[in-house]
Structures are given as structure tokens and as C-alpha cells.
């Protein structure tokens, strides 16, 4: 299938097209495809339709890992009939996958008439439009995300990333390929940018013990996430325990103590290690396990 600028169209086993990064040797949304994965992992799990229907004012979504924009566009398309005001803030270190995807919009099939909006988005790194009942203000930060949030972490009021999000679509390449996006300092910085008075949830495709420990030690509550078709379970994190339909419990904690890959990465270098005594002590004191 078509190849251009280090990216390639690939047809998945179910017949759906997706984008493959040749340099990273990674396919975006493998197995079930871009739309099905985004609907299961983000739209449904975040209860976006229900939340938007009951939300007054601007609803802020951070899209961490814009990629070829499938997650963002699926969210917009799934909520276009709701009278809502969405501020969508996307982050990535490159626009190349989106540029490639836009050239192949017909084959990918998830652009939903947003082609012209995406052309303006690529040109100006922001676009505003009305789609059905939905008002959208979409902006893009071309940057290294770990560095960006480390420099913005002190106070959200003084950050160019303000306002704080109500939802985060977290979709970075795997820790083995992109360890900088899965470290404890990154998730600590991200947690500090949340507004304690604004419930926010972050789903992601990984179910690894090391990720779940990292999120807990960063300050999040963490639970078992919905299946996506590719994975029997994923992970959801939040600053509000009520988002968890199945929060991790002490039984999970016992398994984490036996895991050979549970200790969070501090540096952006992929490695695995069992849980340290210090990390275990912090987990045992986490409100999720103490009930406080």
C-alpha cells in the first residue's frame, strides 16, 4: 500500500486501514483499527457523551499523542450532535503522520468531512469551527511533551497549557519504543497540572504493572480499563476515585509485589525491575489502598 515520508498505509486483518510508522516500526491502532479503538478506549470509557450533555461551559480535552488524529476526530464525530463547547489541545513532536493521513483520508475513512479543518490546523496549528451543535476550538503544541510539561508544571494558572483538562487521551508509542513518555517524572508533572476541583480521567491502552504503579505513585487513582478488542483490559487513571468502576485493590497490589517489572522508570531509558521497598511503602500509604 502507499508509502510516503516514512509512513505507510496498512490494511489490518479486519479490512480496516491504518497508518504505520516505518522509522518506529509501529502501527497506529493495530488489530481493531483507529475508530473502534478510540471509541472503546476514550469515547465510551470517559463517558464523553453523558458528561458533555451535563456540562456547562468549555470542556477541555488533552490529546497526548496526536499521531494521525484518529483519536481526536473520533471524539469529535461521536459528540457532534450534542450542544457543547469543546477545547481540544493536541500534543506531538511531529505533524508528519497527520500530513500523511490527510493525503489518504478516503482510505482511512475517519476524517468525517474535517479535511478542510485539518488543512487549516496543519497551517496555523489551531482551528475553530462549528460542527452540528458542537463548537470546537482545537490547538496544537509542536513540542517534546515531557519537556513541555516539566517547564509548565509549577502552576496551571501561569502555564501556557491552561486551563486544566477534564479528560486526557493518552496515546504514546510503547514504553519499549518511547520510554520518555512513560516515566514517573512525566506523570507526576501531568498530575500537578490537573485542577483538584476539576475531575479528570486518563485512559490508555497499556495494562502493565509498571505503568499502573507509576500512575499511582504520581498521585492518580488507578483502575482496570475497558477492553478494546485488541486487549482484554486497559488502564484508566483519574484524580477522582469515582471514575473507577473497578479500582485496583490489595489483591492487585500483592501481584505487583511479585512482578519482575513494577518499579517505575525515572530516566527515559527502558528497563524492568521489581518493586523497590520504598515504592511499596508509598503504594501502601496511597489513599486508594488505605481507604482515606
How many residues are recorded in the chain? 292
- Please list the pLDDT of the chain residue by residue as tens digits (292 residues): 555 668 999 998 888 999 999 988 888 887 788 898 899 999 999 999 999 999 999 999 999 999 999 999 999 999 999 999 999 999 999 999 999 999 999 999 999 889 999 999 999 999 999 998 999 999 999 999 999 998 875 444 455 677 899 999 999 989 999 999 999 999 999 999 999 999 999 999 999 999 999 999 999 999 998 877 667 899 999 999 998 899 999 999 999 999 999 999 999 999 999 999 999 999 999 999 986 4
The model's pTM is 0.94
Q: Which of 134, 59, 115 is nearest to 89 (CA)?
A: 59
The domain locations on the chain are 30-290
Q: What is the pLDDT of residue 31?
A: 72
Q: What is the pLDDT of residue 168?
A: 98
Joined grid coordinates for residue 59:
470542556
The architecture in CATH of the region 30-290 reads: 3-Layer(aba) Sandwich (3.40)
Joined grid coordinates for residue 214:
507509576
Crossing angle of helices 250-258 and 209-218, rounded to 10°: 120
Strands (E), the chain: 3-4, 7-11, 17-21, 26-27, 58-64, 84-92, 126-131, 134-142, 167-170, 201-204, 221-225, 234-238
What's CA 227's distance to the chain center, in Å?
Answer: 15
Q: Which of the 8 DSSP states describes residue 42? A: I
Residue 161, C-beta contacts closer than 8 angstroms, at least 6 positions apart: 89, 141, 148, 149, 152, 193
Hey, is 100 helix, strand or coil?
A: helix
Amino acid at each position: 500500500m502507499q508509502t510516503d515520508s516514512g509512513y505507510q498505509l496498512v490494511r489490518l486483518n479486519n479490512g480496516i486501514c491504518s497508518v504505520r510508522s516505518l522509522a518506529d516500526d509501529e502501527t497506529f491502532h493495530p488489530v481493531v483499527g483507529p475508530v473502534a479503538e478510540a471509541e472503546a478506549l476514550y469515547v465510551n470509557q470517559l463517558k464523553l457523551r453523558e458528561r458533555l450533555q451535563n456540562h456547562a461551559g468549555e470542556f477541555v480535552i488533552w490529546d497526548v499523542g496526536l499521531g494521525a488524529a484518529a483519536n481526536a476526530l473520533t471524539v469529535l464525530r461521536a459528540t457532534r450532535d450534542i450542544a457543547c463547547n469543546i477545547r481540544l489541545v493536541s500534543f506531538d513532536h511531529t505533524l508528519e503522520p497527520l500530513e500523511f493521513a490527510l493525503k489518504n483520508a478516503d482510505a482511512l475513512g475517519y476524517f468525517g468531512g474535517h479535511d478542510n479543518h485539518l488543512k487549516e490546523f496543519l497551517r496555523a496549528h489551531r482551528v475553530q469551527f462549528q460542527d452540528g451543535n458542537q463548537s470546537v476550538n482545537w490547538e496544537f503544541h509542536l513540542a517534546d511533551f515531557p519537556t513541555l510539561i516539566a517547564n509548565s508544571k509549577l502552576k496551571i494558572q501561569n502555564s501556557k497549557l491552561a486551563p486544566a483538562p477534564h479528560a486526557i487521551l493518552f496515546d504514546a508509542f510503547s514504553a519499549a519504543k518511547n520510554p520518555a513518555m512513560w516515566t514517573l517524572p512525566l506523570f507526576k508533572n501531568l498530575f500537578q497540572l490537573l485542577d483538584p476541583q476539576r475531575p479528570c480521567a486518563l485512559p490508555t491502552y497499556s495494562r502493565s504493572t509498571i505503568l499502573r504503579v507509576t500512575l499511582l505513585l504520581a498521585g492518580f487513582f488507578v483502575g482496570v480499563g475497558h477492553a478494546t478488542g485488541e486487549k482484554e483490559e486497559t488502564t484508566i487513571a483519574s484524580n477522582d476515585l469515582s471514575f473507577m468502576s473497578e479500582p485496583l485493590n490489595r489483591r492487585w497490589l500483592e501481584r505487583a509485589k511479585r512482578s519482575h517489572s513494577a518499579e517505575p522508570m525515572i530516566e527515559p531509558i527502558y528497563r524492568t525491575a521489581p518493586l523497590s521497598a520504598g515504592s511499596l511503602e508509598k503504594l501502601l500509604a496511597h489513599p486508594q489502598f488505605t481507604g482515606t
